[in-house]
Amino acid sequence: MSESQQNWIDLRSDTVTRPTPAMRELMHTAELGDDVYGDDPTVNRLQDYAADLFGYEAALFAPSGTQSNLLALLAHCARGDEYIVGQEAHTYKYEGGGAAVLGSIQPQPLTNQADGSIALDDIANAIKPDDFHFARSRLLALENTIGGKVLPPDYLQAATSLAHERGLATHLDGARICNAIVKLGISPRQAVQGFDSVSVCLSKGLGAPIGSVLCGSHDLIAQAKRWRKMLGGGMRQAGMLAAAGLYALEHHIPRLAEDHANAERLANGLRQISALQVQTPQTNIVYADLPATACAGLAELLRENGILARVTPHMRMVTHLDVPAADIDKVLSVFQTYFSKHPGVSSI
């Protein structure tokens, strides 16, 4: 983003957040060491805090959620093993096929239901028998939230119990698990119950500039640390980055409720425009269907008004800590202006 765009309203993703002044101050004053040697005190503090917060034995700081998820898959599965995953899950669809390319781990993708879940019968039927003709089913990988939707605790308990009964480990891509925690009003430990590992992104709604933490057992994290080194994820004086993540976990989880409220505010306003069909958001992600013929003109008008968004017929807008309620009102004003001036735009 250029300097002239620093004050733009950016709805493309919650990955675009910038560190708050208090977060920057903690980064500036962070104690530092060499994390490859394991002696960066701030990284160690972040890992200990995250492990305790989510109820695991240990945790590992990684540069990105993509790497954190990959570390989990590599630690859980060996070459020739298989993980069961949803068709819409990031670990399968949006992370470059890393498990297959770098780990020789076969994905077994299954259809996600409308609520984001994978049907329990589909999971059960996908688990391979112990037969050398098949890849070995080793892991169930779920995602929460997925597409902004929150998987209910009862479903997660049933899915993880099924996996464990059939001899599979379980991993949760919890990139936005804190949004689910706030939406459900439950504790972090309750939100990840039943999962042998969880990856928590620090650089989405929590607002850190970089990083994720992988939580799991001591043995799993030891394996993940070896894989992290191999993948180039071992960082040196990483405490400056870990400090931001620590601040995010300590201070920014409750404030996600503001993002959820702003998403609802945005959705309610967009529903007043007859040309749009708007889904009710569960967390901080709003989906709106609009006429394809409106996309180019709307995108241009939004940019002219300092608003960044991916304008497509199935449009996704994401609220976050850099988008206050006043910005939501400005976005709604631009939408209303465009569609009031183009009453003849083709219907969806």
Instruction: Tell me how far apart the terminal alpha carbons of the chain are, to the nearest angstrom.
Output: 32
Any idea of the CA torsion for 172, 175, 181, 187, to the nearest 10 degrees?
60
What is the C-alpha to C-alpha distance for residues 229 and 210, in angstroms, rounded to an integer?
18
Q: Where are the beta strands (DSSP E) in 11-92?
A: 58-62, 81-86
Q: pLDDT tens string for the chain (348 positions)? A: 444 556 899 999 999 999 999 999 999 999 999 999 999 999 999 999 999 999 999 999 999 999 999 999 999 999 999 999 999 999 999 999 999 999 999 999 999 999 999 999 999 999 999 999 999 999 999 999 999 999 999 999 999 999 999 999 999 999 999 999 999 999 999 999 999 999 999 999 999 999 999 999 999 999 999 999 999 999 999 999 999 999 999 999 999 999 999 999 999 999 999 999 999 999 999 999 999 999 999 999 999 999 999 999 999 999 999 999 999 999 999 999 999 998 667 544
Q: The whole model's pTM is what?
A: 0.95
What is the C-alpha to C-alpha distance for residues 86 and 95, in angstroms, rounded to an integer?
13
On whether the CB atoms of residues 213 and 47 are closer than 8 A, the answer is: yes
Any idea of the CA torsion for 183, 184, 186, 189, to the nearest 10 degrees?
-90
Residue where the block lists tokens 């993002």: 259
User: Could you confirm whether domain 19-249 is CATH 3.40.50.1820?
Assistant: no
Amino acid at 244: A
Question: Is 320 in a helix, a strand, or coil?
Answer: coil
On whether the CB atoms of residues 346 and 293 are closer than 8 A, the answer is: yes
Q: Where are the beta strands (DSSP E) in 187-293?
A: 197-201, 212-216, 277-278, 285-289
- How far, in whole angstroms, is CA 119 from its chain's centroid? 21
What is the C-alpha to C-alpha distance for residues 19 and 301, in angstroms, rounded to an integer?
28
Residue where the block lists tokens 């879940």: 117
Q: Pairing between strand 58-62 and 212-216?
A: antiparallel
Nearest to 80 by CA among 103, 97, 101: 103
Q: Pairing between strand 106-110 and 285-289?
A: unpaired
What is the C-alpha to C-alpha distance for residues 175 and 201, in angstroms, rounded to an integer?
4
Q: Where are the domains of the chain?
A: 19-249, 255-341
Burial class (CB in 10 A: 0-12, 13-18, 19+), 109: middle
Question: Is 180 in a helix, a strand, or coil?
Answer: helix
Please name every residue paired with 10 in a beta bridge, in sequence order, or none if there are none.
308
Burial class (CB in 10 A: 0-12, 13-18, 19+), 257: middle
Q: Pairing between strand 136-143 and 81-86?
A: parallel
Tell me the torsion sign for CA atoms 186, 196, 143, 156.
negative
Specify the pLDDT at position 348. 45
Question: Is 64 in a helix, a strand, or coil?
Answer: coil
Specify the pLDDT at position 5. 57
User: Could you confirm whether domain 255-341 is CATH 3.30.70.20?
Assistant: no
